[in-house]
Structure 1
Amino acid sequence: MTKRMRTMVVKIGSSTVVETGRGANDAFIGSLARQAARLRELGWSLVVVSSGAIACGAPVLGFTSRPKDMPSLQACASVGQCVLSAAYDEAFQGEGLLTSLVLLTRHDTARRTSYLHARDTLTRLVELGVVPVVNENDTVTVDEIRFGDNDTLAALVACLVSADLCVTLSDIDGLYTANPALDPTARFIPRVDHIDAQIIASAGDSSTSVGTGGMITKIRASRILMTAGIPSVICSGEDAGVLARLAAGEEVGTRFEPPRERCEIAPRKLWIALGDAAHGRVTVDDGAARALVERGSSLLPVGVTAVEGSFEAGAVLDVCDASGFVLARGISEAGSDELALAAGRRQDEIAGNHLLAALAGKPAIHRDNLIVFA
């Protein structure tokens, strides 16, 4: 029987794949291609999630710094994606590997059918021995350009291909208790088994001129991966052999390890967690929070203490505890106006209110449409 190839997703930030003001970092991409060839020898397939299109395109178009206006950003992304793709193609061909370009938007993945098509395409590319290079389609996606969250895209891709490991190559060697550039007492954290509010608070903002993400987006993505049962690592991209070392089981960077007792998450719930951005949020009381986390219950209106945002029934919502910490994400059974009116009310009160008749006997979010994060 042929041994199953394991799959590694590697996410590369702009500050790693781009030389500031000069475009694609050919030396780094060449090193990555050699690592990909070595991984193939070790029985691993590689999927690359690469930032850097805007940063590659800016110097080509004569910009000396990152533009501020949206049309210029999109123009840089359009030109830079060609530059970046050519660099990947040339380097990987030199190692006998074929690459492909996959551009995704949240408008695509927000639709369940498109999400599944993306999964099928990526899975087939991996089966065919291709190294997909995935990026957000910054030429047309306005909100991703605004907050640059390819860390979430990497988590999405890792779930789509059922990855065995997701690696973020960054300009920092892992997670610290505080930003080490600002706090000399910051301590390195080699392993994380549970992401709580304290871990989230340790994250800082992006400190580079070419990137727009920060450690906070990496931690949030790692939390989703832990929920999906996929281990992830944040480490420095400067180590030329780091991917092979990780494939061999060596401890490098900060490893986020999924809980062993977690049940397998249904693909639909992973889509709820990753496919679309949250369109609002609800805050729940302590009793509701315990029921969601400890018993896997549905969220009832009586447990809701606050509703934020304007949304319709069927929208994806973040579910937060009293401190604002996101516990879960789910699909609302009601619009924001109805839910705000029903918040804190028992089922008999809802049933007796003609304005809330549509919610009578319904939860705010059904457990089948709710994913509780690890």
Structure 2
Amino acid sequence: MNAPQKPRTAVIKIGSSTLTDAEGKVDRAYLADLAHQVNRARKAGWNVIIVSSGSIPCGLESLGLPLKRPKDMPTVQAASSVGQRALIAAYDQVFSPYGMLTSLVLLTRRDTADRNAYLHARDTFKRLLELGAVPIVNENDTVSVEQIKFGDNDTLAALVACLADADRVVILSDIDGLYTANPQIDRTAKLIARVDRITPEIMEGATGAGSAVGSGGMITKLTSARVLAAAGIPLVICHGRAEDAVVRSLAENPIGTLFTAKERRHEITPRKLWIALGDSVKGRVVVDSGAACALSEHGSSLLTVGIRRVDGEFSANDVVDVLDESGYVIARGLVRYDAGMMREKDGVAIHRDEMIVFE
């Protein structure tokens, strides 16, 4: 008799524009259908973690405020404080009829910035899944400040996937996937079903947030895809309101756009995650072919001798992107020297322990 197959883990990210209706209120009917699909996915052998937006719209609705994201942080945090309670209650209401127990996990960067905190968070997710719960994860907007914010839930979903050692990440969005051009502008734009390598052209074609209620955009999704590829975790981007979107996104040939990933090479450390998923890149260094090969193929540190060009003004310990001669971003890391000294020093520019290499 064959041994039972080990459950796979999926991280499902739901954006605000998917979760809310035309008035900006949380769509209870959509949540009910989501619960039905998650139940089917669990029966098919998937553990499910949900990274959910929606606490701020929930809070604004409860407080009787205009259903548009506030511009001042105290109002955002107040709405989140009220909304977290309402959001988890809504999830619990639609999941409980299927015997699915939900849990609320609130995170900030500070909660996973060092290895001990990272390991505690990882163990919590593991135990919740072992106990059969469906974790509902959100950024803790109530206490977040700029220095510890994730900034968007695409980034948070990538972090959670690495924490939970997930087998797939699904971003349910208000778009069908990645297109050859912006479909709102270019009618000839075509959906790309599969991406094996995120090229500079793809990154340059990404646009910012297009929704009034969301905070992410295609660029954050592509950044998350690069990190997930390095961790060996495939990503699917699809329209969250497509029929059976969750179930179909977990199929062998999913809907939307599949960003593939090679076999996992190593665990991404908490420090490398912080470097990779931050949005504080201060500059760029272009390296020669030998240095690019040493980074990509051998996991080496970046030596100053391999740097051909330095772009931007940055200081020691700033985050910079590392590009090969074709302009493709192959890595991101913390530099040991400022931009001026980088051209003069002879030694390690970025240590391999403070650098993530992308696929």
Pairwise same-fold verdict (TM > 0.5): yes
- Aligned partner of residue 60 in structure 1, secondary structure: helix
Q: Which moved more, 1:317-326 or 1:157-166?
A: 317-326
- Aligned partner of residue 172 in structure 1, secondary structure: coil
Counterpart of 2:285, as a letter, is: V
1:273 is aligned to 2:266: no
Q: Distance in 1 between matches of 2:251 and 2:326?
A: 40
Deviations 1:196-234 (A, max 9, x none): 111112222222111111111111111111111111100
CA positional deviation for 1:238: 1.0
Equivalent in the alignment of 1:350: none
Q: Distance in 2 between matches of 1:178 and 1:146?
A: 30
Q: Distance in 2 between matches of 1:129 and 1:190?
A: 33
Deviations 1:265-286 (A, max 9, x none): 2332x65134762655453233
Equivalent in the alignment of 1:264: 265
CA positional deviation for 1:20: 4.4
1:175 is aligned to 2:160: no
**For residues 85-164 of structure 1, what are the structure 2 equivalents within 5 Å?**
85-143=88-146, 148-164=151-167
Q: Distance in 2 between matches of 1:146 and 1:229?
A: 25
Whether the aligned pair in 2 keeps the contact of 1:282 and 1:320 (CA below 8 Å) is no
Equivalent in the alignment of 1:363: 348
- Aligned partner of residue 267 in structure 1, secondary structure: coil
CA positional deviation for 1:35: 1.0
Q: Distance in 1 between matches of 2:151 and 2:279?
A: 16
Equivalent in the alignment of 1:63: 65
Equivalent in the alignment of 2:222: 219
Equivalent in the alignment of 1:298: 301
Match 2:237 to one of 230, 234, 250: 234
1:244 is aligned to 2:257: no
TM-score, scaled to structure 1: 0.86
- Aligned partner of residue 219 in structure 1, secondary structure: helix
CA positional deviation for 1:31: 0.9
Deviations 1:258-310 (A, max 9, x none): 13xx5512332x65134762655453233144542344331123426246444
Counterpart of 1:44, as a letter, is: W
Whether the aligned pair in 2 keeps the contact of 1:234 and 1:254 (CA below 8 Å) is yes
Counterpart of 1:272, as a letter, is: K
Equivalent in the alignment of 1:340: 339
1:286 is aligned to 2:287: yes
- Aligned partner of residue 64 in structure 2, secondary structure: coil
Where does the alignment leave 5 or more consecutive residues of structure 1 unmatched? 348-361
TM-score, scaled to structure 2: 0.89
CA positional deviation for 1:102: 0.3
Q: Distance in 2 between matches of 1:72 and 1:144?
A: 18
CA shift in 2, pair 1:22/1:273, >3 Å = closer
CA shift in 2, pair 1:298/1:189, >3 Å = same
Deviations 1:84-125 (A, max 9, x none): 111111111121100000000012222222111111111111
Whether the aligned pair in 2 keeps the contact of 1:193 and 1:258 (CA below 8 Å) is yes
- Root-mean-square deviation over aligned CA pairs: 2.5
CA shift in 2, pair 1:293/1:281, >3 Å = farther
Instruction: Percent identity, please.
Output: 50
Deviations 1:149-179 (A, max 9, x none): 2101101111111111110111111110121
Counterpart of 2:287, as a letter, is: D
Counterpart of 1:273, as a letter, is: L
CA shift in 2, pair 1:126/1:263, >3 Å = closer
- Aligned partner of residue 285 in structure 1, secondary structure: strand
- Aligned partner of residue 348 in structure 2, secondary structure: coil
- Aligned partner of residue 350 in structure 2, secondary structure: coil
- Aligned partner of residue 67 in structure 1, secondary structure: coil
- Aligned partner of residue 23 in structure 1, secondary structure: coil
CA positional deviation for 1:128: 1.0
Whether the aligned pair in 2 keeps the contact of 1:278 and 1:316 (CA below 8 Å) is no
Higher alpha-carbon Rg = 1
Q: Distance in 2 between matches of 1:49 and 1:311?
A: 34
Q: Distance in 2 between matches of 1:323 and 1:69?
A: 42
Counterpart of 1:70, as a letter, is: M
Deviations 1:18-74 (A, max 9, x none): 224453211111111111111121111100000121122123222223221111111
- Aligned partner of residue 364 in structure 1, secondary structure: strand
Equivalent in the alignment of 1:3: 5
CA shift in 2, pair 1:120/1:263, >3 Å = closer
Equivalent in the alignment of 1:43: 45
Q: Distance in 1 between matches of 2:251 and 2:205?
A: 29
Match 1:53 to one of 32, 52, 55: 55
Where does the alignment leave 5 or more consecutive residues of structure 2 unmatched? none
Whether the aligned pair in 2 keeps the contact of 1:330 and 1:369 (CA below 8 Å) is yes
**For residues 7-18 of structure 1, what are the structure 2 equivalents within 5 Å?**
7-18=9-20
CA positional deviation for 1:8: 0.8
Counterpart of 1:37, as a letter, is: N
Question: Across the two proteins, how many residue pairs are aligned to each other?
Answer: 351
Q: Distance in 2 between matches of 1:301 and 1:282?
A: 15
